[in-house]
Structure 1
């Protein structure tokens, strides 16, 4: 497929949509690992820890499952897969409600570094993020406006200003941000371990996906992308972020539906399982329809992105709109169909409610995605 289109939609069905046995293998291995190490109790404990996730589980994900290396070209030290395979990982992470930085570091952070012009410093950062030695995040996840200026002094770049609502900004080692300089906008990487930066954690709906404000004061930075390539790089990061969240939401919907079906088959009233009542059957069937819509939209967007990043904006927006609505509706149904126990904060369904609501403002709610769809198709 060509890299640019006269229309905003893909012109052929992506080959990457074709099911292959290897995808099932990736899913099965990762699901078994997360079933052992990331129960809902594990997820809640990890979210309450000092850094907001489990270093032990993160090490397993990057060392045994190579999640950060999955979509990295082989000549850059990766496994050479694409966003389709990364989407499978994110689906399973959403299903298990992991708080580890798979989306922010293994997906967005790695992708941002791959978009940079090659240099010894960039290659070092990329290698250490891929190996899991450094955790990266990207301010493009935030729907807020950042106010960051970049300054060059000889070969040295530095940034000053404020980046708001940075996902996992309180624990990340590296942040990729958009900053303005006299030359124009650029993407910059800042090593938060050594830079002059003040972090302030923010109250959030979802404690498993923390956010922080970052205040930079002449912090040394590496320019990744210059003014000429910034629009393409930012759009690519935005599309990948939307697709990544959509894939996570597919996994969340699947887990919620499975657990709700299981509960309604066990819970009995009037001598019958409540799942046998027609009204409950209809609600479960509607949830299954939501799952299939979300799964189709997210996987198609991931397949398009893998084949032609430039054509992914529209499928990403569709996936964002469909999956955001579907996961919020499903979480609400799960709470209600679990009855009285479902309305307690201690029930697992409420952690999924918090994640669904917390994700909504990160890259836009369904209305914002639909507005983007209208812009892309010229309505």
Structure 2
């Protein structure tokens, strides 16, 4: 393969996207969201909200929508949003990961809004932006969506089951893929039309999932079969990028938590953080955190300029940020000593979220396989 032919095939991203360097506005967004979550999303509040109905704090969700505009932040102005991008929403997602927030920022503000935007015009879009209707999106794969769609008059009905729907038990609108005579298409269906909703037993209790069954439920066609494959790919890109940002925040929280502990924990009359072996492990955590933050922000900046061009950068961010979060979780549990191995310690909630995120969008190995596919190697 010649160099020119290879360059034409490989999705090389821009070397210096304009939004790569953080500005004062992004710093203000981070400071504000960190203040809100620091006050209303402590680990005790997170665990309590996760065990409630609908699986998150309704009051905090309203605050995030009203005060932080999380649902409209990355939506173009012509569609009723604020006209920012994934760089700014990525900051919100990173801070949500740092606080282990259970509110539907990932599944609704990032993925759900993007999924409905693929429809172009939708009657429910305004309700999604003001947060009164909360959306959940299935994994949109053959393994997750076992649904058939049939046309009835001018409308559609769905029958079958959508599995592993994040936040499905507390959502108002479910976005799924279903088989039509011409192929797969994307649909939106009201949660009240479900014939059964069964919460799944998952490793991460702070991010609940559900299996949702439908039996002749009325549905709205979002994306027809001709455009469905491209739309699903774009939605999955956003999902991967969103979780990369969240994993970055998790790695940040775990490093800070561990650093505070090794400063306070003494052995032989000295803080254990002064031991050379501990310093090296903390340094490795910091290096991986900085790599993750750079990879996630770069992918978000490229995405804001050209989503199609960002696929390679998103796959890299998925791999790097997953590795950073997994490594930070392991180190946090171990360096906290005996208390770190108890389920009651907050490190375990973060550890479970990391494992849950791997199940949603794949581990670093799967992202590296994606990189190899994109580079045709």
Q: How many residues align?
A: 371
Range that drifts further, 345-354 or 7-16: 7-16
Structure 1 residue 63 corresponds to structure 2 residue 63: no
How big is the shift at 1:142? 7.1
Structure 1 residue 93 corresponds to structure 2 residue 104: no
Structure 1 residue 149 corresponds to structure 2 residue 148: yes
Cα separation, 1, equivalents of 2:160 and 2:300: 34
Question: SS at 1:361's partner residue?
Answer: helix
* 1:171 equivalent in structure 2: 170
Question: SS at 1:221's partner residue?
Answer: strand
How big is the shift at 1:5? 6.4
How big is the shift at 1:220? 0.8
Cα separation, 2, equivalents of 1:269 and 1:12: 48
What does 1:1-379 correspond to in 2, within 5 Å?
6-118=9-121, 122=122, 124-140=123-139, 144-193=143-192, 195-379=193-377
Question: SS at 1:222's partner residue?
Answer: strand
How big is the shift at 1:145? 3.3
Task: Let me know the Cα RMSD of the aligned residues.
Answer: 1.5
How big is the shift at 1:7? 2.0
Q: Given that residues 143 and 361 in structure 1 are in contact (C-alpha distance below 8 angstroms), is that contact kept between their aligned partners in structure 2?
A: no
Cα separation, 1, equivalents of 2:290 and 2:21: 16
Q: Given that residues 140 and 176 in structure 2 are in contact (C-alpha distance below 8 angstroms), is that contact kept between their aligned partners in structure 1?
A: no
Q: Given that residues 138 and 144 in structure 2 are in contact (C-alpha distance below 8 angstroms), is that contact kept between their aligned partners in structure 1?
A: no
Question: SS at 2:168's partner residue?
Answer: coil
Cα separation, 2, equivalents of 1:178 and 1:62: 27
Question: SS at 1:223's partner residue?
Answer: strand
Question: SS at 2:359's partner residue?
Answer: coil
Question: SS at 1:360's partner residue?
Answer: helix
TM-score normalised to structure 1 length: 0.95
Cα separation, 2, equivalents of 1:25 and 1:145: 39
TM-score normalised to structure 2 length: 0.95
Cα separation, 2, equivalents of 1:125 and 1:335: 43
Cα separation, 1, equivalents of 2:158 and 2:374: 33
Identify if the C-alpha distance between structure 1 residues 362 and 261 changes in structure 2 by more than 3 Å, giving closer, same or farther: same
Cα separation, 2, equivalents of 1:140 and 1:221: 18
Identify if the C-alpha distance between structure 1 residues 5 and 82 changes in structure 2 by more than 3 Å, giving closer, same or farther: farther
Cα separation, 1, equivalents of 2:261 and 2:303: 37
Cα separation, 1, equivalents of 2:226 and 2:142: 23
Q: Runs of 4 or more off by more than 3 Å in structure 1? A: 141-145
